[in-house]
Amino acid sequence: MSAPTKVRRKTITAIRAMKGQQKIVSLTAYTTPMARMLDPHCDLLLVGDSLGMVLYGMETTVSVTLDMMIAHGRAVMRGAAQACVIVDMPFGSYQESKEQAYRNAVRILQETGCDGIKLEGGAEMAETIHFLSTRGVPVLAHVGLMPQMVNTSGGFRALGHSDEEATKIAADAAAVAQAGAFAVVIEGTVEPVAREISQSLAIPTIGIGASAACDGQVLVCDDMLGLFDAFKPRFVKRYAELGALVSQSAADYARDVREGSFPAEEHTFQPRRKPD
Give the residue numbers spanning the domain of 54: 12-241
- Full DSSP string of 210-234: S-TTSSEEEE-HHHHTT---S---T
| Residue 6, in any domain of the structure | no
| Residue 250, in any domain of the structure | no
Q: pLDDT grade, residue 154 (50/70/90)?
A: low
At 141, phi and psi to the nearest 5?
-85, 170
Q: pLDDT grade, residue 5 (50/70/90)?
A: low
Does 223 belong to an annotated binding site?
no
| Residue 252, in any domain of the structure | no
| Angstrom distance (rounded) from CA 266 to CA 276 | 24
Q: pLDDT grade, residue 149 (50/70/90)?
A: confident
The pLDDT, as a whole number, for residue 6 is 67
Q: Provide the CATH number for the domain around residue 110.
A: 3.20.20.60
pTM (two decimals): 0.94
Quote the number of domains for the chain.
1
Q: Is 84 helix (H, G, I), strand (E, B) or coil?
A: strand
pLDDT tens-digit profile of 76-86? 999 999 999 99
Catalytic one among 99, 187, 241, 259? 187
Does 50 belong to an annotated binding site?
yes
Mean pLDDT over residues 231-245, rounded?
A: 90
Does 120 belong to an annotated binding site?
yes
| Residue 273, in any domain of the structure | no
Does 98 belong to an annotated binding site?
no
Is 259 annotated as catalytic?
no
